[in-house]
Amino acid sequence: MTRQTLDQKLAILSDAAKYDASCASSGGTKRNARSGGIGSNTGAGICHSYAPDGRCISLLKILMTNFCIYDCSYCINRVSSNVPRARFSVDEVVKLTIEFYRRNYIEGLFLSSGVIRSPDATMSDMVQIARKLRHEEGFRGYIHLKTIPDASPELIDEAGLLSDRLSINVELPTDAALSTYAPEKNPGQIRRAMADVRQRREQSKDRSHTGKRPPKFAPAGQSTQVIIGADASTDATVLGQSTRLYSSYGLRRVYYSAFSPIPDSSAKLPLISPPLQREHRLYQADWLLRFYGFNVEEITSVTPDGNLDLDIDPKLAWALAHRGLFPLDVNRATRELLLRVPGFGVKTVNRILTTRRHRHLRYDDIARMGASMKKAGAFVTAGGWTPGQLIDSVNLRARFAPPPEQLNLF
Amino acid sequence: MRCVTVPLIGASTVWRDAARGLLAAGVAPSDTLWNAEGQGDAPDLFGAEGAVPTSAAALTVPRSFVAMANSVCYHSDPQRFARLYSLLWRLRSQPHLMSDRADPDLVKLRQMEKAVHRCRHKMRAFVRFREISAPGANRRSFAAWFEPSHYTLEMNASFFRDRFADMDWRIVTPDVTAIYQGGEVALEAGQAAPKLPEDASEELWLTYFRNIFNPARLKVNAMTSEMPRKYWKNLPEAAAIPDLIANAPARALAMAAAAPTLPPLRAASAQAQQARLTSVWADTGEGLEAAIRTCTRCPLHCNATQAVCGEGPQNAPLMIVGEQPGDQEDLAGRPFVGPAGQLFDKVAQEAGLDRGGAYVTNAVKHFKHTPRGRRRIHQRPNSDEIDHCKWWLNAEITRAAPRLIVAMGATAAQALTGTGARVTARRGAIEQGSLGHDVLITVHPSYLLRLPNAEAQAEATAAFRADLALAARHVQTAGT
């Protein structure tokens, strides 16, 4: 076999990493290079580029190697797949990260890997890359390490001290689906690893009795990814799992990744076009859970089958099912209720609340504040505006849903 | 008519000083002419009258206005200074104006501020350096050409300085040039696009860009809304975009059309290696503990992190049975480490009961809870779950053969005696357990934590302490 060039390896190992949804570089400790070294982290993530699949490129997202001894059917790197394989050396990853960073292409590194030899051997190579970046290159940028669930606690411990974010993918919405499609992965093991990270993060926030702060452990928190549409789980199942993960392990984010056909796919999984709209609705619902005070049941009970309405967003779907609460008076309604108006975001609601201390709000005022009145109009009253019978009209949903489309015959 | 000319570099300071002087002199916005250097017509010579007054007097304006003005001064709209000054004029009589988010003048300025912030952010994202180091130089040097929509380079100078402190760099825009050398940023007038040498890393970057894209998920609008086409001409990777878009449908179809293949030869040997490793990584707990950890007898295991086994000497004369693991126990995988466990430890010590010599466990091994926001709310296990878990509790009792079992709370009482009713009435009594062991019924320490007033809490704690002391005595007398 001929030796692969760095360019060839990069092609193979970035191609293999593209199924990981996360590329976030927000959060973490604030750092800069004024005292030496290179790089800074301001807390706000920067997306340096965008690919034609609409996803942002903030970090150099690569696999250390795509050799893997596991056989997860949804994964392109599974042992039974025939994709070309490659492996970076520690120095190659360090050099790529630093040189890309110097040219302002990236915010840092997101390193994942197939499992080679053993989980501990793989994790220790990944930790070595992070250690070299931090200690030898003086790198102050963002590092996100994907931990290998079976790796030993000492390695996870060091990984957390070197990186900004740790993550472990739960991959599928139920334990049963995971044991079907990823037989080597153990759902209990994944949850225990997340529990360890949460505990370690909490310990790192306690000052010692002398008042000294321990070193920060994964300051940007931990995240995970669920693959949507590979098994038959409903959105209610997926969102139920997310709320449990948020409450159990204090996760920063749960990423949803529509199952997408992969080259050389396994016979166990259907080759369908990825359910991108479903993924989008799940992100919207996730947002409502975290920032708008909704419960899972409220969002998922609107439709009978436990899946979100694909035509309209989940907040609108909820509002249409609870028309009795509307229209709300923008000048009087509480914050909690205003957050439930379709077309009002958190910023709009904050602006309404500060401004209405001074004066009575009219329709034009709210429109100027950034609300989407095309949506909100039917659900609110304001000075000079009342939706009249609109809220009770039979075809209210049809105003928002996309027009019916002729199916393609061929 | 007063006439002020504001330069491109240092615009916010010049504007602020001038505005302060004009306001102190009581010059109305309609009597002021603001010129932006390098923009629009030459100053109105005939209308100009007198110098711009300066003022050392303190001027109080809301902090939010100052922050907004510092940004808006770098907008490309020639009217920006006049707009800012007229809002400042209005602020004198309407101090709350900054919190009126529906005021048209303020809305317009906030929109301009937002545009400037977006432009500042996009510059941080889309500047692309090329290396221009001289051969053999001990400090590396980089240069970039960028065309921002507003004059945001000055606002970004400190950002780039803090990030790229260990190399020399320059960013050239049509209006302003920033040069970082010897630890200081110097701002100069803009220049034409410089000729930059080829950079080998740019090829690698293009390779990365081409391969990180998934052709099955084409979403061109999502891309262009965040990376507008006006930036493309200075982004090396943008040259690859038309090809990627054009070939995406064909690549996605080809993936769908390809039949599943047979696994490569090495798969078998890799899986054999995996099989060898599995036995080594599996939980190494012995017998019962290992079996409890892999329990899937009831649905509780799906939502809990892990099963929590008992802890303590396996043949302990005293066994303490609680309800179920809580939030902390579920994370740590050990019983009685949360608030209730700590209270138990404290009271047990006071009662002369040695926790280290007892076997401490729970009636139910998995944490049952419902999520609420970012917390987990404990749920009482139902009788079906208690029955399922009795399998494990009974195994632990049989193995330990204790002289006495302390059942704390209704769930433990139910698991051990068959009924969890009236625990407060039954407390302090020793009953016969379903396996024939002595069972002392008492309350669960979390009950003490939940009591609302201090008096009731002290009373109940004393009774609990007495129960534990009784247990300690019972074990000793039964042992002799």
Give the model confidence (pLDDT) of A68-107 as tens digits: 988 888 888 999 998 999 999 999 999 999 999 999 999 9
Q: How far apart are CA B172 and CA B178, in angstroms?
A: 7
Among residues 68-97 of chain A, which lie with CB inside 8 Å of chain B? Answer: 69-71, 79-82, 96
Q: Is pLDDT above 60 for B48?
A: no
Tally Cβ neighbours within 10 Å of residue A322. 12
**What is the spatial distance between Cα A127 and Cα A132, in angstroms, rounded to a whole number?**
9
For residues A48 and A150, the answer to whether their CB atoms sit within 8 Å is: no
- Distance separating alpha carbons of residues B179 and B234, to the nearest angstrom: 19
Question: Quick check: B45 pLDDT over 60?
Answer: no
Q: Give the integer Cα–Cα distance in Å for B51 and B49.
A: 7
For A59-72, how does the pLDDT look when each residue is reduced to its tens digit (9 = 90+)? 999 999 999 988 88
Does the pLDDT value for residue B46 go beyond 60? no
Collapsing DSSP to helix, strand or coil, B349 comes out as helix
Phi, psi for A103 (deg, rounded to 5): -90, 10
Query: Are residues B396 and B404 in contact, defined by beta-carbon separation less than 8 angstroms?
Result: no
- Any idea which of A104-108, A223-227, B59-63, B237-241 has the lowest mean pLDDT? B59-63
Q: First CA to last CA across chain B, in angstroms?
A: 108
Q: Quote the pLDDT of residue B52.
A: 73
Beta carbons of A308 and A300 less than 8 angstroms apart: yes
Of all helices (H) and strands (E), which one includes residue B6?
strand B2-6
Give the closest residue to A237 by CA, choosing from A179, A282, A274, A188: A282
Q: A5 in contact with B at a CB cutoff of 8 Å?
A: no
Q: Distances from the Cα of A68 to the Cαs of A64, A148, A267, in angstroms? A: 11, 12, 19
Q: How far does B95 lie from chain A, in Å, by closest CA?
A: 11
User: How many residues in chain B?
Assistant: 480
Outline where DSSP puts E strands in B151-282. Answer: 168-172, 176-181, 184-189
* Over residues A128-156, mean pLDDT: 93
Q: For B138-162, what is the mean pLDDT?
A: 95
Give the dihedral of Cα atoms B164, B170, B172, B176; nearest 10 deg: 90
Nearest to B178 by CA among B132, B140, B146: B146
Test B227 with A49 for CB contact under 8 angstroms: yes
**pLDDT of A226 strictly over 70:** yes
CB of B471 closer than 8 Å to CB of B404: yes
Alpha carbon separation from B436 to B315, B360, B429 (Å, rounded):
17, 19, 15
**A371 neighbors A343 (Cβ within 8 angstroms):** yes
The long-range contacts involving B38-43, CB below 8 angstroms and separated by at least 24 positions, are B38/B8, B38/B175, B39/B76, B39/B78, B40/B78, B43/B3, B43/B5
User: Where is A256: in which H helix or E strand?
Assistant: strand A253-258
For tokens 């760095």, the residue is A6
* Residues of A whose CB is below 8 A from B270: 69, 79
Is residue B256 over pLDDT 90? no
* Confidence label for B136 from pLDDT (cuts 50, 70 and 90): confident
Specify the range with the lowest mean pLDDT, choosing from A254-263, B45-54, B407-416: B45-54
> pLDDT confidence of A372, banded at 50, 70, 90?
very high
pLDDT interval class at A378 (50, 70, 90): very high
Contact A69 B271 (CB under 8 A): yes
CA distance from start to end of chain A: 45
* Rounded distance between C-alpha atoms, residue A300 and residue B204, angstroms: 45
Closest Cα partner for A140 from A221, A55, A25, A222? A25
- Categorize the per-residue pLDDT at A214 as very low, low, confident or very high, splitting at 50, 70 and 90: confident
Distance between CA B19 and CA B87 in Å, rounded?
11
Q: What tokens appear for A297 in the block?
A: 């049941």
A373–chain B Cβ distance below 8 A for any pair: no
Distance, CA of A117 to CA of B219 (rounded, Å): 38
Mutate one of B214, B237, B251, B261 to test the A interface: name it (highest A CB count within 10 A). Answer: B214
Please state, rounded to an integer, the average pLDDT across all residues of chain B.
89
Nearest to A100 by CA among A157, A152, A61: A61
Best A53, A186, A203, A278 member to test B by mutation, with max B CBs in 10 Å, is A53
* The predicted structure's pLDDT at residue B298: 87
Q: A56 and chain B: CB distance < 8 Å anywhere?
A: yes
Handedness of CA A347, A353, A358, A360 (dihedral sign): positive
Residue A38's beta-bridge partner residues? Answer: A139
Band of pLDDT at residue B49, cut at 50, 70 and 90: low
Candidate from B166, B277, B305 with C-beta closest to A118: B277
Query: What's the pLDDT band for B44 if we cut at 50, 70, 90?
Result: low
Which range of A117-121, A390-394, B195-199 scores highest in mean pLDDT? It is B195-199
d(CA B237, CA A150): 38
Lowest mean pLDDT among A394-398, B7-11, B360-364: A394-398
* Nearest-by-Cβ selection for B99 from A119, A198, A355: A355
Per DSSP, the three-state class of B175 is coil
The pLDDT tens digits for B286-312 are 678 888 888 888 889 999 999 999 999
Residues in chain A: 410
Residue A43 with chain B: CB contacts under 8 Å: none
**Nearest to B396, CA basis, from B340, B283, B313:** B313
How many angstroms separate the CA atoms of A245 and A223, rounded?
A: 10
Q: Residues 389-418, chain B: which have Cβ within 8 Å of A? A: none
B387 pLDDT more than 60 = yes
Interface of A with B in 300-339 (CB under 8 A): none
The whole-number average pLDDT for the span B377-393 is 90
Q: A96 and B245 in contact by Cβ < 8 A?
A: no
Radius of gyration, alpha carbons of chain A: 24
The reported pLDDT for the residue numbered B287 is: 79
Q: Which two tokens stand for residue B99?
A: 């919190």
Query: Do residue A260 and residue B214 have CB atoms under 8 angstroms apart?
Result: yes
Strands (E) located in A29-123: 49-50, 56-57, 59-63, 108-112
Which residues are registered as beta bridge partners of B377? B370
Question: So what's the pLDDT on residue A191?
Answer: 92
- In this prediction, residue B350 carries a pLDDT of 93
pLDDT digits (tens, 9 = 90+) for A250-277: 999 999 999 887 887 777 776 677 889 9
What radius of gyration do chain B's Cα atoms show? 38
For residues A155 and A124, is the Cβ–Cβ distance under 8 A?
yes
pLDDT at B9 over 80: yes
Q: Would you call A121 an interface residue with chain B, using a CB distance cutoff of 8 Å?
A: no
Residue B123 has pLDDT above 60, yes or no: yes
B279 touches chain A (CB under 8 A): no
Measured distance CA(A33)–CA(A46) in Å, rounded: 17
Q: Are A25 and A18 in contact (CB under 8 A)?
A: no
Q: Could you give the residue ranges of the DSSP H alpha helices within A53-174?
A: 90-102, 119-131, 153-162
Q: For residue A108, give the 3-state DSSP assignment.
A: strand
**What three-state secondary structure class fits B406?**
strand
Which of A144-158, B141-155, B263-277, B419-433 has the lowest average pLDDT? B263-277
The pLDDT assigned to A184 comes to 86
Sign, CA dihedral B268-B274-B277-B279, equals negative
Q: What is the rounded CA–CA span in Å between residue A82 and residue A66?
A: 11
Q: Give residue B285's pLDDT band: very low, low, confident or very high (50, 70, 90).
A: very low
Contacts of A359 in chain B (CB under 8 A): 100
Q: Are B374 and A246 in contact (CB under 8 A)?
A: yes
Q: Does B430 touch chain A (CB under 8 A)?
A: no
What residues of A are in contact with residue B166 (Cβ under 8 Å)?
A: 33, 36-38, 138
CA distance B380 to B369: 8
Mean per-residue pLDDT for B314-342? Answer: 93
CB contact under 8 A, A244 and B371: yes
Q: What is the ipTM of this complex?
A: 0.93
Residue of A nearest to B103 (CA): A365
Which DSSP state fits A133? Answer: I
Q: What is the pLDDT of residue A409?
A: 62
> How many Å separate Cα B419 from the centre of its chain?
45
Could B330 and A248 be called an inter-chain contact, meaning their C-beta atoms sit closer than 8 Å? Answer: yes
Q: A260 with A228: CB under 8 angstroms?
A: no
Residue B43 has a pLDDT of 57
β-pair type (B375-378, B130-131): unpaired
Question: What distance in Å separates the CA atoms of residue A246 and residue A385, rounded to the nearest whole number?
Answer: 40
Interface of B with A in 326-385 (CB under 8 A): 330-333, 369, 371-376
Q: Which tops the pLDDT comparison, B435 or B277?
A: B435
- Tell the residue number behind the tokens 């809490």, with chain if given: B457
Q: Which residues of A touch B258 (CB under 8 A)?
A: 263-265
> Is the CB of A103 less than 8 angstroms away from the CB of B305?
no
Confidence of residue B182 (pLDDT cuts 50, 70, 90): confident
